[in-house]
Amino acid sequence: MTQTIQHHLTDALLMAYSAGTLPEAFNLTIAAHITMCDTCRAHLGAFDSIGGALLAGQDSAPMAKGSLQACLAAAKAGRPALAAPQCRSVLPAPLLSYIGGDLQDVKWRPVGMGIRQAILPTDGRATARLLYIPAGSAVPDHGHRGMEMTLVLQGAFADDTARFAKGDIEIADEDLDHTPVADIGADCICLAATDAPLRFRGLIPRIAQPFLRI
Amino acid sequence: MQKSGIRHVSANRQSENSRWTACIARIRDDADEAAFADLFAHFAPRIKGYLIKSGASATLAEECAQDVMATLWQKAHQFDPSRASPATWIFTIARNRRIDALRKSRRPQPEEIDWTPEAPPDQADVLALEQASEDLTRAIAALPVKQKTLIEAAYFHDLSHSEIADQTGLPLGTIKSRIRLALDRLRHAMN
């Protein structure tokens, strides 16, 4: 799967994920993409190495007396970490705990024009949602006030810039206005994260927007 | 004179990396408490320093540093020296703990992919990654103060500077391709 991925995370986003400065919704989307994409997993490793080098050169703060013994006791008392079972879902593993199950457990809500969404619980600094776009349907033309990250989990969509298939991630910012259209072949499921409301061009989506939290 | 001095430091640090890698292996294979004590003495105070610099109180930093080291003991089997140096792996655990503790936010992780005891990583890959990590550490040490401060700000103080990654000019290409190669081998071994 990984060879077919065409659209990747930027170095700036990988560095911010590595440093730990992003909102949870972006972290979730990035973790899901990296689960599907070994190229970005390797690039993340390089940015983690920066953190490792900084930690290695870090000034020491002396630990309290007896902390080694306390730590060892806690480590041995803790349950030994079991190897996580390999994920068999069509969804990348990091998403499953946010859904509280698998794809069939997603609580979809209609947002009009056949499109459905499910907002996932993350910290308030950004919003993560699953989007279900029926084959051949379009998401209304919209722009962005902040950053929108869209990861394709099933099917594919295309907008003015490119076509995005399973595993591809589109990073949209304030400069991009687009009308994503799902491929005709299959319903498209995406994970989208935004840190500011979208800007819809059409009147109807604009009126509906506050109610849908898009 | 100068040159041989640099080589000497580099050789020392490299053997230090191998030493920590060996300690983690002894924890994984033999639950070796002496190896853990060595790692603890070296890394726990640095983790605590990192957390204090990130805004944690001394008490919270102490508690988190102990948690991080306890996690190292429990997850020693997940450490892959063909994809990360010991310091890098410990950094990722500490970074995740920092987000939990200071931001009170969950930290979604990519799915783990692990070697099995029957199919461990290639020793040549481990050495090559060690070398690449060493080169990167040296490149960071050689950065102009201003750029190093920017990087530390991003990694320690929760500031987002999207332009930093483009500006530092760090030689990340080699380390990216080393890790990619190790991942390809791991995927191949899993099939």
Complex prediction ipTM:
0.89
Q: What pLDDT was estimated at residue B11?
A: 53
Per-residue pLDDT of chain A (214 residues; tens, 9 = 90+): 445 899 999 988 898 899 988 899 999 999 999 999 999 999 999 999 999 999 998 899 999 999 999 999 999 988 665 556 666 788 999 999 999 999 999 999 998 889 999 999 998 889 999 999 999 999 888 888 888 999 999 999 999 899 999 999 999 988 888 899 999 999 999 999 998 876 766 655 566 566 556 5
Residues of A whose CB is below 8 A from B101: none
Give the gap in angstroms from C-alpha B113 to the nearest C-alpha of chain A: 8
Quick one: pLDDT at residue A176? 86
Taking each helix axis from N to C terminus, what angle separates B33-53 and A67-77, rounded to the nearest 10 degrees? 110
Look up residue B142 and give its two tokens. 């050689």
pLDDT in tens, B108-135: 999 998 888 888 999 999 999 999 999 9
Per-residue confidence (pLDDT) for residue B16, from 0 to 100: 84
CA–CA separation, A148 vs A196, rounded Å?
8
Cβ-based contacts of B160 with chain A (< 8 Å): 16, 21-22
Q: Is B121 helix (H, G, I), strand (E, B) or coil?
A: coil
| CB-based contact A60 B48, cutoff 8 Å | yes
Nearest to B32 by CA among A76, A48, A110, A160: A76
Query: Residue A189's pLDDT is what?
Result: 97
Chain B interface mutation, best of A71, A87, A147, A169, highest count of B Cβ atoms under 10 Å: A71
The pTM of the full predicted model, rounded to 2 decimals, is 0.89
Supply A56's token pair.
Answer: 């290695």
Pick the closest to residue B135 from A55, A50, A38 (CA basis).
Answer: A50
Interface mutation vs chain A, best among B42, B50, B91, B107, most A CBs within 10 Å: B91
- pLDDT, residue B19, reads 94
Packing angle between helix A38-56 and helix B145-156, nearest 10 degrees?
Answer: 110
Regions of chain B with pLDDT less than 70 = 1-14, 158-168
Give the count of beta carbons closer than 10 Å to the beta carbon of residue A3.
8
Tell me what pLDDT residue B150 has: 80
Contact B52 A61 (CB under 8 A): yes
Residue A1: per-residue pLDDT: 46
